[in-house]
């Protein structure tokens, strides 16, 4: 608030010496102050002096409020907990699918094991555990040059286990070596491909160790209920 400082001008009547026998009074004069540049104080009035007040800010319009809500809202599109990238209902991090831990398969100094979870995630985000199906290990067959060329599978001799209700499997006491993952649905069997290479998913079993494959996720599988 700006403050206006005024200097009082002193009015004094000048009368020096003895009174002269004259009918006219001595004229009043204004004495000069030390600060000639200050403004003269206005004459006092009966009205109260108006005080300077801060200018009122214009009231926020409905459009301003809407704009503020859009930029500062905790549920804005950029930071929304339900946005497509970070949604808690997204397919990769869906809380609708929670598999409990399972016991590791039995291994020895001469044998190894493998475990994991097999699921299908539909484009809608629905998670389908591939349950009550045989997950097996197929033999890799080498060609004459010693290159891995073929895969063989026999349901009667291959290591395999049924997946549980969560799509989990654990195969133990497996002879060390390289295998391909096979899904056996009784009426047929097929290789589980590696999404990165498009080839059969190869696993290597080491003696005394359990290979944890984690979650094997596919968009679809060629079996009833898991195809698109």
Three-state helix/strand/coil letters over 179-216: EEEEEECCCCEEECECCCCCCECEEEECCCCEEEEEEE
Helices and strands counted in the chain (H then E): 1, 12
Res. 103: pLDDT tops 80: yes
Max mean pLDDT range (35-39, 61-65, 97-101, 185-189): 185-189
What does the pLDDT read at residue 149? 85
Res. 94: pLDDT tops 90: no
Taking CA atoms, 101 is separated from 4, 117, 170, 197, in Å, by 80, 10, 11, 29
| Mean per-residue pLDDT, 83-112 | 68
What does the pLDDT read at residue 163? 98
Question: What is the CATH architecture of 112-218?
Answer: Sandwich (2.60)
Q: Return the percentage of the chain with pLDDT > 90, whole number.
A: 45
What does the pLDDT read at residue 64? 52
Contact 134, 161 (CB under 8 A): yes
Max mean pLDDT range (54-63, 128-137, 186-195, 218-227): 128-137
Rounded CA-CA distance 38/40 in Å is 6
Residues 6+ apart with CB under 8 A from 36: none
| Mean per-residue pLDDT, 123-133 | 94
Res. 22: pLDDT tops 70: no
Predicted TM-score (pTM) above 0.95: no
Tokens coding 147: 């290159």
Res. 33: pLDDT tops 50: no
Give me the DSSP letters along 23-72: SSPPPPEEPPPS-TTSPBPPPP-SSPPPPP-PPPPPPPPHHHHHHHHHHH
pLDDT interval class at 98 (50, 70, 90): confident
Three-class SS state of 161: strand
């Amino acid at each position: 608030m700006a403050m206006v400082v005024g200097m009082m001008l002193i009015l004094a009547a000048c009368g020096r010496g003895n009174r002269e026998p004259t009918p006219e009074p001595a004229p009043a004069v204004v004495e000069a102050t030390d600060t000639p540049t200050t403004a003269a104080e206005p004459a006092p009035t009966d009205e109260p002096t108006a005080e300077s007040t801060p200018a009122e800010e214009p009231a926020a319009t409905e459009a301003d409020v809407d704009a503020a809500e859009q930029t500062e809202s905790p549920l804005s599109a950029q930071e929304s907990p339900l946005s497509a990238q970070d949604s808690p209902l997204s397919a990769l991090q869906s809380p609708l699918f929670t598999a409990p831990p399972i016991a590791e398969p039995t291994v020895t100094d001469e044998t190894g094991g493998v475990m994991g979870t097999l699921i299908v995630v539909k484009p809608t985000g629905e998670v389908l555990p591939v349950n009550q199906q045989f997950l097996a290990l197929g033999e890799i067959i080498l060609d004459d040059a010693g290159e891995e060329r073929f895969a063989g599978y026999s349901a009667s001799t291959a290591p395999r286990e049924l997946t549980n209700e969560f799509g989990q499997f654990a195969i133990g006491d497996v002879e060390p070596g390289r295998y391909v993952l096979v899904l056996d649905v009784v009426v047929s069997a097929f290789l589980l491909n590696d999404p990165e290479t498009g080839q059969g998913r190869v696993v290597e079993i080491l003696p005394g160790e359990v290979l944890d494959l984690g979650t094997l996720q596919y968009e679809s599988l060629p079996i009833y209920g898991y195809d698109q």
